[in-house]
Amino acid sequence: MFKLVGCLGRLAGRLLKVALILALLAYPFLEPYWLQVEQRTLYYDQLPPAFDGLRIAFMSDLHVGPFFSRDRLDALLTRVAALQPDLLLLGGDYADDSSGALALFREGPLFAAPMGVYAVLGNHDRVMPESNLPKLLAAMQADGVTPLYNEVRRISRGGQAIYLAGVDDYGNGHPDIAGVAAATRADAFTIFLLHNPDGIPKALAAPDGQGRTGWADLMLCGHTHGGQVTLFGQKALILDINRETGERFRTGWKREQGSDILVTNGVGTSFLPIRFFARPQVHIITLRSGQ
């Protein structure tokens, strides 16, 4: 009897080990579907009162393609719309290459928000041929998305204004961070979109039109996928080796030189449809006036 109990115990232990191994192997394929909706409220003294309570949805790195279907995108956008954002901001990498991004926007309408949709391009959106660039920008406009291609846009509400700035991709494009910074004022509330967080140090150092830094109140970035595959969230195991800033801007919220900085994990995946302790994210950011 004791031998039988011992054998059963050893068998159960082995089965448990096998189950744990199988779960560990399966988990990276399941995490890409475990979307995190992060909600955060930020307070700014210089936010115009007319924009108090403004709700911004931010998402990046959709990578619509073989691992992220159009139906899945539609379900995501329905979920985001239910959160009732006033403004939708997009951080780039809409498909796996520029032709895929062009085809995606030509399938529209896709994106909508009461106060508009604004977007920058990512490195995958800027792969060759270069001739796709004007076509992609036109397709985005036709789909109701305003591309921020090295420019600053004014958004009005209740007779007051804030500004949205954005640049071309830092890796594959021609970003003009200095020119965009010079078109802003540090005393005006400005949100800065850039796909690749390697451009953050240059944006922090760039002067505004009056020679002052600190012109970007809020910076929103993507590109890193949070590392996509990490050492239990502590360090990236798969990360673009050409990145200049490494772990410094891999994921999450930072505050540097007066700017709130978000590097999102993004939504989709690159190369393989897996994530490990780098859950996909979309963000709802509520802006409030005051401290």
Residues 90 and 229 in one domain: yes
Total domains in the chain come to 2
Lowest mean pLDDT among 73-77, 102-106, 242-246: 242-246
What's the mean pLDDT in 19-23? 63
Q: Are residues 20 and 137 in the same domain?
A: no
Domain residue limits at 52:
36-289
Over 90: is that where the pLDDT of 108 sits?
Answer: no
Query: Among 283, 244, 277, 243, which Cα is nearest to 263's?
Result: 283
Report CA-CA distances (Å) from 265 to 66, 236, 282.
19, 12, 8
Pair (4, 126) in one structural domain: no
**97 with 221, same domain?**
yes
| Mean per-residue pLDDT, 254-272 | 96
Please check whether residues 81 and 110 belong to one and the same domain.
yes
- 228-257 pLDDT per residue, tens: 999 999 888 876 555 788 889 999 999 999
Do residues 185 and 94 both lie within one domain?
yes
